[in-house]
A = this chain, B = another copy of it.
Amino acid sequence: MQHVSIKDIARAAKVSHPTVSRALSNSPLVKGETAKRIRQIAASLGYRPSAIARSLATKRTKTIGVVVTSIADPFIADVISGVEEAANDHGYSVFLANSNANPDREVRVVHSFHERRVDGILVTASRVGALYVPLLSQLKVPIVLINNQHPDETDEFIYSVTIDNIKASTEVMGHLIGLGHKRIAYIGDRGGFQSDTERLAGYRQALAVAEYPFLPELVVHGDGKPGGGEQAMESLLALANPPTAVFCYNDMSALGALRALHSHGIKIPEELSLVGFDDLAIASYTFPLLTTVSQPKQQMGRMAMEIMIKLLSRIDSKTNIKVEGELIVRESTAPPKF
């Protein structure tokens, strides 16, 4: 006998198994004395209820499917750590699935979540294809998106947690403009992600407020990774009149930009100011330390999971939460040279 069941306990306690079931779930229907005895026997036998059988009976698995494009992405990993923590706190377990932005894998994940009868699905959407969420929503299960990249999700099952990109972006620009910079460049992402679009919007908005002209040649595109950031920075440095400050879509891009600057022997922040976005752990260990926007990554994960749990408990909850980023000024920004 591999596992002890409530029937085993029932036999030992000379009661029926429904009584055991009730006693262990603290039902008021069972006499206090009996319940206590049953619980003691259960403990002494090392009883652990079968979540499987319980799920079958109750039709709730207390299980959440979590899709990420890649858990190796440090931003996502931080978010997931918050997700898992909140889930654990409420007795939920998470199924982790990498999609790798691969359509085949995506449909397999959907099938897997479907068959396992997850109660809900969490998606860190930073690179998830546009067609994916509709696919997931076929499961008729609540979905919470974190930093989703498609603004038009109007499905009734869909909730979200996102950072206020425009606000954070204008704050970054305010910082640079306040230092005296006038030629400020933006290194964006490729592919028109929601977050890129919004950060660019904040960039333009801040320029407009300061009554600085918007110069298209100062907006270049990377790929959200160091390689793209490096190339983008190279193209900025090749301009006849290069910028004195550069605002990068994310820290990864900034890392690449930093590399390009180092290889040109350009001193930061004396000759050029650089700002990232995300406040990855690395940003505290670059040289110089990177000024960036901190997203409450873990907390966002936690919030997303808490929205989910409220939904599953039929508690009304906000459908869309916007959190604020925080500008972290470190060593990579300073007033322009002249």
Give me the interface of A with B, judged by CB distance under 8 Å. 2-3, 48-53, 55-56, 59, 61, 66, 70-74, 77-78, 80-81, 84-85, 88, 93-98, 105, 108-109, 111-112, 114-117, 140, 226, 255-256, 258-259, 262, 281-282, 284-287, 298
Name the contact of A284 in the complex, choosing from B80, B105, B112, B226 (C-beta under 8 A): B226
Name the contact of A71 in the complex, choosing from B55, B81, B281 (C-beta under 8 A): B81
* Cα separation A114 to B47 with both chains bound (whole Å): 10
* Cα separation A88 to B100 with both chains bound (whole Å): 12
B74 touches A81 (CB 8 A): no
Q: Given A115-B49, A285-B282, does the pair A81, B70 have CB atoms closer than 8 Å?
A: yes
Q: Which residues does chain B contribute within 8 Å of A3, judged by CB atoms?
A: 117
Q: Which residues does chain B contribute within 8 Å of A2, judged by CB atoms?
A: 59, 140
Most interface-central of A49, A96, A259 (chain B CB within 10 A): A96
Q: Which residues does chain B contribute within 8 Å of A115, judged by CB atoms?
A: 48-51
Minimum CB–CB distance for A7 against chain B, Å: 14
Q: Which residue of chain B lies nearest to A112 when distances are taken between CB atoms in the complex?
A: B93
- Contact sample, A vs B, 14 pairs, CB 8 Å cutoff: A48-B111, A48-B114, A48-B115, A51-B117, A72-B281, A80-B96, A93-B95, A93-B97, A93-B112, A94-B96, A282-B282, A285-B286, A286-B287, A287-B287
Interface of A is mostly: helix
6 nearest interchain CB pairs? A96-B96, A255-B285, A77-B77, A51-B115, A72-B81, A48-B114
Name the contact of A84 in the complex, choosing from B74, B98, B226 (C-beta under 8 A): B98
Q: Which residues does chain B contribute within 8 Å of A80, judged by CB atoms?
A: 71, 96
Minimum CB–CB distance for A162 against chain B, Å: 20
Minimum CB–CB distance for A338 against chain B, Å: 25
Q: Which residues does chain B contribute within 8 Å of A256, judged by CB atoms?
A: 285
* Cα separation A97 to B11 with both chains bound (whole Å): 35
Name the contact of A285 in the complex, choosing from B56, B61, B84, B259 (C-beta under 8 A): B259
Q: Which residue of chain B lies nearest to A282 when distances are taken between CB atoms in the complex?
A: B282
B287 touches A258 (CB 8 A): yes
Minimum CB–CB distance for A70 against chain B, Å: 6
Q: Given A71-B80, A93-B112, A96-B84, does the pair A56, B52 have CB atoms closer than 8 Å?
A: yes
Q: Which residues does chain B contribute within 8 Å of A97, judged by CB atoms?
A: 84, 88, 93
